[in-house]
Amino acid sequence: MSADRADRIAERLASRELDALLVTDLVNVRWLTGFTGSNGLALVGAGGYPFRLFITDFRYLTQSEEQLGDAWERQIASDILAHAADCLREAQRGRPLHVGYDDVHLSVKAHAALVERVGEDVELIPAGGLIEELRAVKDDEELERIRAAAKLADEALSEVLERGIVGRTERDVALELEIAMRRRGASGPSFPPIVASGAHAALPHAEPRDVTIPSGTLVTIDWGAQLDGYASDCTRTVATGEVGDEERAVYALVREAQQKALDAVRAGVAGRDVDAVAREIIKLAGHGEHFGHGLGHGVGAVVHEAPRLSQQSEDVLQAGNVVTVEPGVYVPGLVGVRIEDLVIVREDGPEVLTSLPKELVTVG
């Protein structure tokens, strides 16, 4: 697989008139090579520079051998960036070598050291986002891993809700949810879980408090699992007993907007157009000012990646994208409701990975 991904990168490099790409972000390194350690980088060449070079330090001598296929030449160095610079300088063949680097993740200090080390005949050219563009469309193995992460997360929340949440603190419920995911094999949560009850849920990214969850309120729970290198993301809002008419009306509105937006998800549709479906429904109901974030985002090796579903998005959905659809209404001092599904974009519509019900569920 990593050889195929390297070949795809080489094709992109050729179209950009780049001779090589220096990959330093560890998420991208893992996607490209399969390496899961904490220190490593990769060099991918194109055209007359067909090298596939992986560099790490002595700690990962055995691990890199086990995780990388034969397509990669492995080298060990104490200073991996300096070693990469030396390799680039040696590869230069009497003409300028054009090397793309990730200007999003490489620090100014590291870039300066790299420029000094490679010399005048190696030109470093910003190429941030090149791998992220490829990562946005998942292959079958990636989709299966995301399915598994979503399934694990769903099972963990079901277990927590079955035990009950009334009388427990938001923080305690969030902690139990994280433990439940880890017990099922997750390396951890894909982000710190959100558990917010009552008016606290009007904060879209509320942090769990040491405050007891009462009966007769709405509780918003946003969580996800990180499993085998891939993330999931989901939100459900539940009731802890009978709630008021306004809370129920807000819930019904968000559920309608979420379903209509889901129906609009398919390959070829602009992310901003899917966002507009949910936003218009919420706006017409008088809550436009209470929906202030984008409708969704891509999910993959990390929990926030391309493409984006928002008013400002320039992205067009492609088959194989994995995105969230998560409208919300947040009324300060009263209530917050968010409903979120994780879906695979298909040519004819979405494949919803989240299995939990979306009618208003009451829990003890």
DSSP output for 97-115: EEEEE-TTTS-HHHHHHHH
CA atoms within 13 A on the CB side of 127: 27
Residue 219 DSSP SS3: strand
Q: What pLDDT does residue 1 have?
A: 58
Q: What pLDDT does residue 30 have?
A: 97
**3-state DSSP percent of the chain in helix, strand and coil, to 5:** 40, 25, 35
Q: What pLDDT does residue 51 have?
A: 87
Residue 169 DSSP SS3: strand
Which residues, in sequence order, are bridge partners of residue 218? 239
Q: What pLDDT does residue 69 have?
A: 85
Q: Rounded to two decimals, what is the model's pTM? A: 0.94
Q: What pLDDT does residue 48 have?
A: 83
Q: What pLDDT does residue 354 have?
A: 96
Q: CA-to-CA distance for 62 and 313, rounded, in angstroms? A: 43
> What strands, in cross-sheet order, belong to the sheet with 230-231?
188-189, 225-227, 230-231
User: 174: burial class by Cβ within 10 Å (0-12, 13-18, 19+)?
Assistant: buried
> What strands, in cross-sheet order, belong to the sheet with 194-197?
194-197, 218-223, 234-239
Gyration radius of the chain over CA positions: 23
- Polymer length in residues for the chain: 364
Q: CA-to-CA distance for 315 and 236, rounded, in angstroms? A: 26
DSSP for residue 58: G
Q: What pLDDT does residue 50 have?
A: 84
223: which 2 tokens?
């969580």
Q: What pLDDT does residue 138 have?
A: 97
- How wide is the angle at C-alpha 343 spanned by C-alphas 338 and 349, nearest 5°? 115
Q: CA-to-CA distance for 347 and 267, rounded, in angstroms? A: 5
Looking only at the bridges linking them, the beta strands covering 328-331 and 335-338 are antiparallel
Stretches in the chain below the pLDDT threshold 70: 1-2
